[in-house]
Structure 1
């Protein structure tokens, strides 16, 4: 008993919420409306695709709708889609498309600016690489000169030292053969 009561209460509470559901006629059809929930009822109008409607009731495979003009009628359930129609979304989508195109133009300009900056930086980079290579060659040349100068200084010092040593040896060999001075004799005593 409690289950039946709670189930009927649940259905009663859900019916008013369901009765006011926002929907639209499917975007790809043109629908004739009927005076009741079936084809046997008289056609009393038509609803264009994408038109916004409010779902009032469901019976069998038909839905009772209310159009924006306030007219109520029945249409097959397969032609009613819930939510916002593509037709009503179109202005927002067109605005978004326009904004996207404007952003693309701005981004294309930014890309062109960045590419020009990149090419100028690349040109500067090539210049810097050439300068670095030139400076490295100059450093190698100067290091080679320093090494050659060290070697020539070493050879010069060795030559001078050898000449001094040779002169000393020759002088040492010649000194004994030099005439000796005779000692003076003092005959005073």
Structure 2
């Protein structure tokens, strides 16, 4: 009876170990093609090879012989040493992915370069446009300064003309006033001589 229990426990442990390794992805070593056997050991018949780097599915493990049962890409269920399996993807499967990553990075770098060149060109256009606007504003400012100078000259000339006219008007009024005063004085001096004196009344004689 104890022996039967021991056998059952052993079978249970074996089933547990088999299930623990069921359906796990593994990769054949990159160094060389691996020979596969019909059973869990090199004493079993060699039934073929699997290519180096090929992806296989680990179905079970024989801890006694350190062999694993795998299913390859052709659907065959065979055995081979566990030391010829790896959890890390092989170079054979990684190279296309790496090439794709390199291509994507190269495309991104090219796009970044194109984008940078485009931004640089836009900045140069903006700077050139700004320089043009600045030059135009400077030219317009200079024109306004010239117009202001000319306007000031015109105002000064007009003020000079007004001053001359004011002086002319003052002189005219001064001469007119002098003429009137002189005429009045002359008239006052001549008028008594022009008007005959009245004869004295006879009775006064």
**TM-score between both structures, scaled by the size of structure 1:** 0.58
Question: Once structures 1 and 2 are overlaid, which stretch shifts more, 160-169 or 143-152?
Answer: 160-169
Task: Identify the match of residue 66 of structure 1 among 71, 82, 101.
Answer: 71
**TM-score between both structures, scaled by the size of structure 2:** 0.55
The alpha-carbon distance between structure 1 residues 169 and 176, as it changes in their structure 2 partners (threshold 3 A), is same
Distance 1:122 1:42 in 2: 82
Deviation at 1:68, TM superposition (A): 1.6
Gaps of 5+ in 1: 1-7
Tell whether the 8 Å contact from 1:32 to 1:47 is kept in structure 2 after alignment.
Answer: yes
TM alignment of 1:112-151, pairs within 5 A: 126-151=131-156
Specify the alignment match of 2:7 in structure 1.
Answer: none
Deviation at 1:42, TM superposition (A): 4.9
The alpha-carbon distance between structure 1 residues 75 and 154, as it changes in their structure 2 partners (threshold 3 A), is farther
Deviation at 1:79, TM superposition (A): 4.1
Tell whether the 8 Å contact from 1:31 to 1:79 is kept in structure 2 after alignment.
Answer: no
Distance 2:172 2:67 in 1: 133
Alignment: residue pair count? 172
Tell whether the 8 Å contact from 2:35 to 2:80 is kept in structure 1 after alignment.
Answer: yes
Rg (Cα) greater in structure? 2
Tell whether the 8 Å contact from 1:24 to 1:80 is kept in structure 2 after alignment.
Answer: yes
